[in-house]
Structure 1
């Protein structure tokens, strides 16, 4: 018997939260300074905002369960999502008075097992 309900009982939000938590742990362990997470404005949401050296990094986290029918997490970062993240990052930089800051857009993909445990995590630096 497993430690939790079968995968289909977890909501998309729960899966996303599990992936983001894993991404924060990973980035922190790699020496990134986490500035903010789930930052929202009218144009969208930024999953994780981190610093690494002088660079401000906007991290898009994509999580998937075990079903290959959903496609890979990487495939879910389409042109529409890239435009939204870039637009939201511009708002963030403007609101923080950091328009001249050097930035990077990274993607972290997380594959989850049926108990929301992490089966794999992949960090794509400067993804877009």
Structure 2
């Protein structure tokens, strides 16, 4: 067992104090709103045919993102894509979906989900910095599998998922982001 040392004990005490504060505030908000901070589970998503849509209550960002990725994957499959990989991570970042198009183009898909447009449209979340990160992740994914991009068509794509007023997803697939 490793000793924490003087600085380690202080950091642990500070963390435990913070954790207790968060737990106390969570208990307080849960008492006033029992559905506060619900976690994603079978009850958080309901399946309608092949489409996954969110429940009528507000989802937290992570839950909304997970539901959006599921909707995007189903939409890509319905369009004839084969899902090759999902949520692949490396030091450079993460790719949400890697999918092979019917034409043989390997698409690295970033999924952006919005329940409203207060923070802009999904496409507005793709900055030059984000595109550079997507390129690095794509390169790492290809390198890990010894795939040379010159010999295979690759594409950086965006799937934007918007929920309309009725909770139904609207998916747009933009190919070839530059």
Flag the 1:4–1:22 CA change in 2: closer, same or farther, 3 A.
closer
Task: Determine the structure 2 residue equivalent to 1:54.
Answer: 104
Name structure 1 gaps, 5 residues minimum: none
Q: Is contact 1:90-1:99 (8 Å) kept?
A: no
Deviation of the 1:83 alpha carbon: 0.6
Task: Determine the structure 2 residue equivalent to 1:83.
Answer: 132
Task: Determine the structure 2 residue equivalent to 1:105.
Answer: 156
Tell me how many residue pairs correspond in the alignment.
122
Aligned-partner SS, 1:49? strand
Name structure 2 gaps, 5 residues minimum: 1-53
* C-alpha RMSD of matched pairs (Å): 1.8
Aligned-partner SS, 2:156? strand
Task: Determine the structure 1 residue equivalent to 2:171.
Answer: 121
- 1:65 paired with 2:104, answer no
Aligned-partner SS, 1:69? coil
TM-score for both structures, normalised by structure 1: 0.87
- 1:23 paired with 2:72, answer yes
| More strand as a share of residues | 1
Q: CA separation in 1, counterparts of 2:87 and 2:156?
A: 15
Relative contact order, CA 8 A, sep 6+: which one is greater?
A: 1
Q: CA separation in 1, counterparts of 2:173 and 2:81?
A: 13
Q: CA separation in 2, counterparts of 1:87 and 1:114?
A: 37
| More helix as a share of residues | 2
Residue deviations 1:35-54 (CA, integer Å, cap 9, x gap): 01000001000000011132
Flag the 1:114–1:40 CA change in 2: closer, same or farther, 3 A.
farther
Q: Provide runs of 4+ in structure 1 moved above 4 Å.
A: none
Q: CA separation in 2, counterparts of 1:95 and 1:87?
A: 12
TM-score for both structures, normalised by structure 2: 0.64
